[in-house]
Amino acid sequence: MSAAGSRRRASTPALLREEGLVVEDDEEPTVYQRVAAYAVVTSHRGVLMTEYSDRTGAPGAWGLPGGGLDPGEAPTDAVLREVWEESGQHVTVGRFVGLRTRHWVGRAPNGRLEDYHAVRILFCATCDDPTEPVVHDVGGTTASAAWVAPERLGSLEITSGWRPVLEDLLGGSHLRTGG
């Protein structure tokens, strides 16, 4: 077999399309890739969760604290900054637990058609001195934050992108009962 014939191709999953998406004949999506860092933050109070604001495509749903990297910013530094902005918590970033990607075509909250590729760097983190969460980035993509006992996670409407991450890291039995 030739060298070219022995090369393996990476499989590419089918591109997701927003349900009910209507695209005009002459409309081309804006290609956008976003690299972000997130953390599954735990403390004696539970798991730190953030609720998405109406500036997102999932208002009222819950996910993990984190967000986009600033130019030149290390992923661990982004986690520290984003967790504080979204919840007021000071955390210690622990182990790297994975890289998740998601690619879809849909409408941004502003109505723009996007070919969007999310690259999410994921860590575990701990909070030794948890306080009542306070959103400092007012007017951003986080509406609220809360410490949630693991046994109550199943009652939250957790986004489809974050639910499997939490199931993998915390055990699926906590999440299979709800949203």
Whether 5 is in a domain gets the answer no
Model pLDDT for residues 14-47, shown as the tens digit of each residue: 566 667 778 788 888 889 999 999 999 999 999 9
Task: Give this prediction's pTM.
Answer: 0.82
In a domain? residue 10: no
Domain count, the chain: 1
Q: What are phi and psi of 169, to 5 degrees?
A: -85, -30
Q: If you average pLDDT over residues 47-68, what whole number do you get?
A: 94
Q: Is residue 14 part of a domain?
A: no
Strand partners of residue 113: 107
Domain interval for residue 85: 36-174
Q: Is residue 55 part of a domain?
A: yes
Question: Which two tokens mark 61?
Answer: 């749903």
Q: What is the pLDDT of residue 27?
A: 86
| R_g over Cα of the chain | 18
CATH number, domain containing residue 76: 3.90.79.10
Q: What burial class does residue 44 get, using C-beta atoms within 10 Å of its C-beta: 0-12 exposed, 13-18 middle, 19+ buried?
A: exposed
The reply to whether 1 falls in a domain is no
Strand 46-52 with 30-43, pairing: antiparallel
pLDDT band, residue 9 (cuts 50/70/90): very low
Q: How wide is the angle at C-alpha 154 spanned by C-alphas 153 and 160, nearest 5°? A: 95
6 within domain boundaries: no
Q: Does any domain span residue 138?
A: yes
Residue 62 within a domain: yes
**Which pLDDT belongs to residue 6?**
46
- Determine the pLDDT at residue 63: 97
Strands 92-107 and 113-126: antiparallel
- Give the count of beta carbons closer than 10 Å to the beta carbon of residue 121: 20
